[in-house]
Structure 1
Amino acid sequence: MAKRLRSLRPPRAEAAPESPSKAVRLLGSVIAPTTVLTGLLFFFGRQHANWLLDYFGVPLSTMGLTAQDYLVRSADGLFAPIAVVLAAVLVLLWVYRFLRARLAETAWQRLLRAATPVAVVGGLAGVVVAGVGVVHPEAFATSYAVPGAGLSLGVLFLVAASRMPASRTPRPRPAAFATVELPAAFVLVSVGLFWAVADYSASVGVGRAIEIEGTLAVPPETVLYSAKSLNLTAPGVRETTCRNPDSAYHYRYTGLKLILQSGGQYFLLPVQWHKADGTAVVLPRTDALRLEFTPATDPDAPC
């Protein structure tokens, strides 16, 4: 009897597999901006280091900088614009929340319809600026980052305008249009950001190099000890032979400044370095070299 009752029970419905589309969209909404931000930081740091070293005539490849070096170097100049952009986004979100909570539905719809032509004009203006930057880049000789920023902002404005309500009842968009619109807009905004970062990093890197050149005479100074003669003959650099036969380092060099150490390399500049005829020094970091840092150096003092 019990076996017959069990056979009469309806079979259990198997749980339908959960559609992954929602999870994929959520994952993409998190990973995509994070990936772009990381790429921007890395790209900015690399371009920053490249232009800084290029100012002193040192190829970037000789220093062996790592990805971590580039990411750390991106703090010099990029975090301030990112903070400004994020602050602007927060302000816009707060204004949106404030108006949405206090305006009636009809007033809110009228506001959106009035904002649509403003967004269209702003978007077209940004795209035109980007086009001028491609055809005539010399027009932005003093502000190369403007075309890239114009492209990103222009695309954002146009996407916002396309999603604002029209005066008449809008027709439903094709599914294919909705699938292509946001990825295409995301790619264009990312291209504009990398475009702007490339130019901005160049100006920041050269600016930091000029600052370094102007402060070479400011202490502390680097004293370089070497087991063998390095034959450094740059202006202001003096070689002293150490008389002590038991010394591990038989030569001392004064008049130098350590600028950067990375990838097993020392990058030094003479304190009398000038852009026109200066000589940069790149040395491998080995046990045959030793560095000392001092506020003042007497080149005539014994080792």
Structure 2
Amino acid sequence: MTAPEPSEGPLDIQRLWTIVGTIIAPTSMITALLYYFGWHHVYWFFYYFGVNSTTLGYGTTDYLIRSLDVLYVPLTVTAGAALLAFWGHDLLRRRLTAGAVIRLLRRALPVMAGVGALLTLGGFWSVLARTFFLRRILVAAPLSLAFGVLLLAYTLHLWRTLPTPPPDEGTPELEGDSEGDGTEPPAPPAPPAPTPGPPRSAAAALAEWGVVLVLVGLGLFWAANDYAAAVGETRARQFAAELPTYPYAIVYSADSLSLTAPGVRETRCKDPKAAYRFRYDGLKLMLQSGNQYVLVPERWSRVDGVAVLLPRSPSVRLEFAPPLAGSGASKRC
């Protein structure tokens, strides 16, 4: 049994990361990804309420903060899975000297390659068509692509690091004459040992790892993108369900705002000298972004609910009341 050739995988990855780091600054790339996922979260949150998020004046800091809600779970799960994979690989590497483990691994490699090929095919198929994964299971299609490519690459890595199998040592015994002369037949000549192929070039190894990392990165990016949309819509549903527990936002205005949202009541003040002559009850403040308020009716629904974008100005004043006080807690104009 010949010793396995040293694997160049870790060195190849280290070289690849060095090349990528010289082209793309890691800090800039991470900031861009956080900004993108935060934007996606905000877009789908307000899309649930029928608001175009581009009109809200969100800044970079707002999107970066929102991205934490999106990436907390994916990063935790990915880090935990990667740690388990590293520990499992280290345990397997330590046991590769045992003959029984090597024989078992040789039988398992075709199965691993088949599963990886099926997962990769399912991921690529979902890119081109709307498959069962896309319709039924969240992030199943992108994770199928990422894990399938990883499994294929790892299977190939194990196959390259396995020692060369020895030639068959069992030879049939030659039958002597019935009397036996006490001499042993000459042993057949041993077959020549297999010679390893030429080593791969550094460029080929870097190109292979580069393609693997690109496909895995695209799959994880796709999964995080879908997860961001799901989190944004989930947070919107949660906000709509908890509207009765939020404080009331009573709007006072110098001029009529003509708000006709369901459940919103306009009251005209009788005092002609009042600075704010109109009061609007039945609203809840969603957020204040940029230079405007976003309000929704207390009885908002997806059937007839609307969202109100109210610019901040000296002619508009907001007053808040606890949810148990009722929408008409303040009667002052």
TM-score (norm 2): 0.73
Note if 1:150 corresponds to 2:144: yes
Q: How far is the alpha carbon of 1:166 from its aligned partner?
A: 4.3
Higher relative contact order (CA 8 A, sep 6+): 2
Larger radius of gyration: 2
Task: Map Cα deviations across residues 138-158 of structure 1 (whole Å, 9 max, x no partner).
Answer: 522132411111111122222
User: Percent identical across equivalent pairs?
Assistant: 41
Cα distance 1:142–1:259, how it changes in 2: closer, same or farther (>3 A)?
A: farther
CA distance in 2: counterparts of 1:73 and 1:129, whole angstroms: 31
CA distance in 1: counterparts of 2:250 and 2:109, whole angstroms: 65
Query: Unpaired runs of 5+ in structure 2?
Result: 1-13, 165-195
Note if 1:84 corresponds to 2:111: no
1:235-250 to structure 2, matched below 5 A, reads: 235-244=262-271, 247-250=274-277
Q: How far is the alpha carbon of 1:88 from its aligned partner?
A: 1.6
CA distance in 1: counterparts of 2:225 and 2:15, whole angstroms: 34
Cα distance 1:35–1:122, how it changes in 2: closer, same or farther (>3 A)?
A: farther
Cα distance 1:212–1:147, how it changes in 2: closer, same or farther (>3 A)?
A: same
Amino acid at match of 2:277: H
Amino acid at match of 2:331: A
Task: Map Cα deviations across residues 189-235 of structure 1 (whole Å, 9 max, x no partner).
Answer: 22112211222222222222222222222231112222322111111
Residue aligning to 2:282:
255
Residue aligning to 2:311:
284
CA distance in 2: counterparts of 1:34 and 1:121, whole angstroms: 38
> Does the 8 Å CA contact 2:74/2:224 hold for their aligned counterparts?
no
26-35 vs 48-57, which deviates more?
Answer: 26-35
Q: How far is the alpha carbon of 1:242 from its aligned partner?
A: 3.8
1:44-83 to structure 2, matched below 5 A, reads: 44-83=37-76
Cα distance 1:24–1:146, how it changes in 2: closer, same or farther (>3 A)?
A: closer
Q: How far is the alpha carbon of 1:111 from its aligned partner?
A: 6.8
Amino acid at match of 2:279: R
26-35 vs 158-167, which deviates more?
Answer: 26-35
> Does the 8 Å CA contact 1:36/1:190 hold for their aligned counterparts?
no
Amino acid at match of 1:198: N
Q: Secondary structure at the match of 1:268?
A: strand
Amino acid at match of 2:314: D
Q: How far is the alpha carbon of 1:275 from its aligned partner?
A: 0.6
Amino acid at match of 1:55: Y
Q: Secondary structure at the match of 1:57?
A: coil
Residue aligning to 1:178:
205
Cα distance 1:112–1:265, how it changes in 2: closer, same or farther (>3 A)?
A: farther
C-alpha RMSD of the superposition: 3.0
Residue aligning to 1:42:
35
Residue aligning to 1:189:
216
Cα distance 1:110–1:35, how it changes in 2: closer, same or farther (>3 A)?
A: farther
